[in-house]
Amino acid sequence: MLILGIESSCDETAAALVRDGAEVLSSVVHTQIALHAPHGGVVPEIASRSHIEKIPAVVRKAVEDAGVGWDAIDAVAATYGPGLASSLLVGLHAGKGLAVALGKPFIGINHVEAHIQSAFLSPGSPAKEDCLPLLALVVSGGHSAIVRIGADGHPHILGQTLDDAAGEAFDKASKLLGLGYPGGPAIQKAASQAKNGGAGIRFPQGRISDDNPAIGNLRADLCFSFSGLKTSLRNYLQKHPVQNEDDRCEIAAAYQDAIVDALASRCERALRQGRYKGFAVGGGVSLNAALRARLKEVAVRAGVPLFLPEPKYCGDNAAMIAALAGRGAGVRGDAAFALDASPSLTFE
Ligand code: KG4
Ligand code: ZN
């Protein structure tokens, strides 16, 4: 089963060909970072216009790189949510159009579920199906969620951010610190140069009360809140303006530590509360070296194998979309062709 996957939910235009949900024949990602950097964040209209411009060449290159003809493609899959509506619509409708033209089925894919699949794309990785029940942490610019994939393969969100996503917390802090966009890599670099590792600076974690209406059916002790962290950074900077590069690096290290600690402590708690055969991580923030190191420790203490994506599959890509479709997930049949973009798509 050879699937052409398409991804356009935010600011990456991507296409990939994946065989049997595991073997990546090609993966092409065109990032729009240079277009959005001057604005300090993703501008939806700039994003959707760029997707429209780039998607034909990106898809064509994915087919060429795979070294197969269009006839070899058995199905077309595309992200239909969550993400930016105007960005999602481009890839979703390009995918439907291609499926019609090729006379093949179309499959609609949930982007967050696909990020989890990215941890199983490395050659030699076991199949996700052999690691169920699986605990997964998805952390990107748009999402921060702890997901349980049950023995039946069905994903269920245990906890998520009640405000900003972890990547957003990095991006906003980077702006406050004058470190540029995207914030994650910039903060990681500054933090790595902190001589004292941020010792002596503490940013408190957001407290989440059980009666917060945003929690709904989720577990309060597995939810996150990052907007308070950003406010405490702003307050800190007002009281202690950055005097030199050393200051900036120490603050970046303390701030990174607070995010890593919030994420790792919730994962450790979730692993203690359930029985899992594996622990997977995905999303752009999973590139963060400090987070990767902490999660390795968490997995060792919990006695579960950790699955981290290769760097090229941490951020948005289409290999994860085609792979998930190739494992039988997603909306199929006539319902797939009727799909609209679903910006707030969740699992239930
Ligand atoms: O998954 P992704 O490419 O796009 C979304 O679906 O949002 O994630 C982008 C996010 C950005 O917020 C970026 O700052 C963050 O991932 N990021 C990082 C690192 N590299 C990218 N965050 C922390 N450390 C990094 N090294
Ligand atoms: Zn993403």
Question: With a cut of 50, which residues of the chain have pLDDT below it?
Answer: none
Residue type at 249? C
Residue ranges of E strands in 261-323: 278-282, 306-307
Query: Is 48 close to ligand 1, i.e. is its CB under 6 Å away?
Result: no
Report the distance separating Cα 270 and Cα 286, nearest Å: 18
Nearest to 135 by CA among 120, 150, 123: 150
Ligand 2 ion: Cβ-proximal residues, 5 Å cutoff: 140, 316
Reading the block at residue 114, the tokens are: 């696909």
pLDDT of 342: 97
Reading the block at residue 246, the tokens are: 């050393």
CA distances for 300 relative to 46, 58, 116, 132, 161, angstroms: 43, 40, 20, 18, 25
DSSP 83: S
Report the distance separating Cα 254 and Cα 286, nearest Å: 18
pLDDT of 313: 97
pLDDT of 40: 84
pLDDT of 213: 85
Report the distance separating Cα 247 and Cα 195, nearest Å: 10
Residue type at 115? H
3-state secondary structure of 165: coil
pLDDT of 223: 95
Query: Is 184 close to ligand 1, i.e. is its CB under 6 Å away?
Result: yes
Query: Is 83 close to ligand 1, i.e. is its CB under 6 Å away?
Result: no
